[in-house]
Amino acid sequence: MIATKNFTKTFGSKNAVENLDISIEKGRIYGLVGTNGSGKSTFLRTVCGVYYPDGGSVTVDGEEVYENVAAKSKVFFVSDDMYFLPNSSIESMSQLYKGIYPTWNQEKYDKLTDKFPIDKNKKVKNFSKGMKRQAAIILALSCQPEYLLLDEAFDGLDPVIRVAVRKLIAEEVLERNMTVIISSHNLRELEDFCDTVGILHNGRLIMQHTMDTLSDRYCKAQVVIDKNSTVLDNFKHEKVLSVKKSGSIYTVTCAMSCDEAEKFLGRFNPVFMDYIPLTLEEVFVSEMEAIGYDTNNIIF
């Protein structure tokens, strides 16, 4: 299990992450979403031991990660900004990882390099962004980590490879109970792939739910109310994330189940009420709007 307790990371005078408490169970595919600069990459870098936490603790299976070979051996981090050794090929990079990760699986490596449409002996510097991403994923999966940290992992991959990679990761999760943390802005993708999602903003965890419970906890309803009523203000409620009016139709997004929403909206005697499927992106945007991070504050 990956767990942070009061984890704080500071860059200069800015807190990138502040008192963060997260626990991620084994075997999960955890989607980490958040606004720009919310601390996603900082969180991932600290979990893999690149950063030292300035406050609190970051543990992998109960062990502090920083300078801990045992803990770090379980983790593999694929950075958003991929790096390969100068003039290296996938093959030469594999030599490095083979000598360092005790869980390196040569058979898997051979299989993956055969399957993926890239040349393992070709210099990585000549690869496209997507091919580099494939190379990084091949190496990561060959290391067979218990915890795979992916920062914008699917960025640059074509749709076919994207599906293949997702399938491969899912297989690893099923076969080896691998835990995956994916940081991405592509919420649609995470929605289909992750079983748990957490939203970070300004270094704090805004929410964390499994995808199953997400629909039980969030509801989006379209209601039509008598046009003479000034109900907009009356919708104010701590669990109402956003209200949008279009003619006489109100679209209300709230952090409550549909039953709770029906009870709450029923007080306004709606002429018409219907529920619309809520996407992760809508949850995210609504949560952000609720804390004042919405387009109205950004676009003039």
Partner 1 sequence: MTPTTLYSDKKLFVSFYKNALSRIRGVAVIYGILMFITYPMFYLINIAEAMQRLALGQRYYGFEGFLDMYTASSLFFFAVVAAAVVSLSAISNSFMHSKKAVDVFHALPVRRPVMLLANFAAVSTAMFVLEAVCYLIVGITSAFTIPIPFIPLIGEFIRVFVLTMAIAAIAAFCAVCANTALDAAIFTAAFNAVVPCYTALIIALLDVFIKGFVADNAVLQFSLRFSPVCMLYQTYFYDVISYTVLNNIIYLVFTALVLAFSCHIYVKRKSERAQSNNTSAFIYRFIVTAASVGGGAFWGFVFAELFGWGDRRTATNVIISCLFTAVIYLIFNAITTRRVNPGKKGFVWMAASLALTLGLFASVTTGFFGMETYLPLIDEIQNVRIYYGGDYDNISRYVPDENGRYRYVRGGNEGVVLEKAEDIAVIHNMHREIIDGFTSDNRLTETQYVSRVRFEVEYTLDSGRVVKRDYYTEVPESVIRDFTLIDDMESFKRQMAPMLISPASDLEFFEIKDGFGKNHMRLELTGSEKEMLYNAIAQDTLNRTSQMKKQHNEMSLAKISLRYKTVETDRNGIVLSENSASIPAASVHYTYETVANIEELYSGVCFEVTSSSINTIKALNQLGLEKYTTLAQPQGIKAVVAISGSPYYDTRSANFWLSAKSFDDLGFADHINWTENQKGYFDPQQVAQIADSCTSTIYGPSIKEREPLFMVLFVNEDIDLRYIYDEQPEVICYYMTYDNAPQFVKDEFAKYIYDGGYVIK
Per CB under 8 A, contacts with partner 1 among 98-127 are 98-103
Identify which of residues 99 and 159 has a Cβ nearer to partner 1 in the complex: 99
Cβ-contact 42, 195 below 8 angstroms:
no
60 versus 252: smaller Cβ distance to partner 1 = 60
Considering only 92-100, 108-116, 201-209, 275-283, which stretch makes contact with partner 1 by CB under 8 A?
92-100
Of 100 and 163, the one with the shorter C-beta distance to partner 1 is 100
- 72 binds partner 1, rule: CB under 8 A: yes
| 30 interacts with partner 1 by CB under 8 A | no
| Shortest separation between residue 49's beta carbon and partner 1, angstroms | 6
Q: Please tell me whether residue 50 binds partner 1 under the rule CB under 8 A.
A: yes
Task: Indicate which single residue of 92, 186, 215, 257 sits in contact with partner 1 (rule: CB under 8 A).
Answer: 92
Among 82, 169, 283, 285, binds partner 1 (CB under 8 A): 82
Q: How far is the CB of 101 from partner 1 (least distance, A)?
A: 7
Of 85 and 232, the one with the shorter C-beta distance to partner 1 is 85
Which one of 75-83, 180-188, 240-248, 279-287 is the stretch in contact with partner 1 (CB under 8 A)?
75-83
Among 22, 75, 165, 187, binds partner 1 (CB under 8 A): 75
| Positions that interact with partner 1 (CB under 8 A) | 11, 45, 48-52, 61, 67, 69-70, 72-77, 79, 81-83, 85-87, 92, 95-96, 98-103, 146
